[in-house]
Amino acid sequence: MLRGDWGRDPLLPRPISLLSVAPDGRADLLAKNVGRGTQLLEGALPGTKVAVLGPLGNGFPEPAADCHDLLVAGGVGMPPLFMQAELAARRGLVDRCEMIYGGRSSRDLVLLGEMRALGLSTCLATEDGSVGRRGRVTAAMEARIDHHRAANQPRKLRVMACGPREMLWAVARIAEPHGIECYLSMEEQMACGIGVCLGCAVPARSRPFRYVCSDGPVFLASDLIIPPAARQAAGSTP
């Protein structure tokens, strides 16, 4: 949870995921200006102090030599997956994962150079086709699953995803019939980050609700109640 010296507007701290943590403890965050809090962060001058409560919550499962992880990132949901890739690279396992990264257009896809520098294999998708495949990141993910199946990928496939809620549900719906272990990093409105306000409830199977801040933000998709796909007009890719 992060908050600048903002007086009473906005009032609450902002939950922001870590992008990268250096060995000396310095951390990078990535935020997109989507409202008052992130606008103030964007406008902050170098050296501005912010209060941080964290790190909080869990993370994705560790990279493993006998697994191949599809890191599926939607827009500003990319940071925890970058951090996962960085961890894999540090352990010499960067070839055990690949980034499937989508956004509306090329302007939404950032840090591509840094991904290359990790030696990370990336597959890009944009809805306007300005870079990578045209279409949604979930279509790109489906294609990559088909590729691995056709190539008889000997390692266990896992999916780890972060992005807009609808994208995460779509990811889960694709992974499930393949029997692929799927981890979703969820977002929800929250005030405290430490399991007290109980604002960040998500419907779950193991209990009526689980909490993004204290039980997550990463959940096994099989423990969440995934709503059925909304019906869409044929061919529409909003």
Q: Which residues bind other proteins (CB under 8 A)?
A: 3, 8-13, 51, 53, 188-192, 194-203, 207-209
Q: Which residue has 């294609």 as its token pair?
A: 143
- How far is Cα 192 from Cα 170, in angstroms, rounded to an integer? 29
Length in residues, the chain: 238
CB of 189 to other proteins, least distance (A): 5
Identity of the residue, 129 or 203, whose beta carbon is nearer to other proteins in the bound complex: 203
Contacts of 214 (CB under 8 A, 6+ apart): 56, 57, 194, 195
Q: Phi and psi for 212 in degrees, rounded to 5?
A: -60, -40
Structure tokens at 31: 């935020």
Identity of the residue, 111 or 200, whose beta carbon is nearer to other proteins in the bound complex: 200
- According to DSSP, the residues that pair with 68 across neighbouring strands are 157
Least gap, CB of 200 to other proteins (angstroms): 7
In the complex, the smallest distance separating the C-beta of residue 219 from other proteins, rounded to whole angstroms, is 14
Q: Cα 17 from chain centroid?
A: 9
| Identity of the amino acid at 26 | R
Question: Residue 226 CB, nearest distance to other proteins (Å)?
Answer: 15
Which lies closer to other proteins via its Cβ, residue 39 or residue 189?
189
Give me the torsion for CA of 138, 141, 145, 148, rounded to 10°: 170
DSSP class of residue 168 equals: H
We find the least distance from the C-beta atom of residue 16 to other proteins, in angstroms, to be: 15
- With respect to other proteins, which residue has the nearer C-beta, 30 or 201? 201
Q: Which is nearer to other proteins, 15 or 75 (CB)?
A: 15
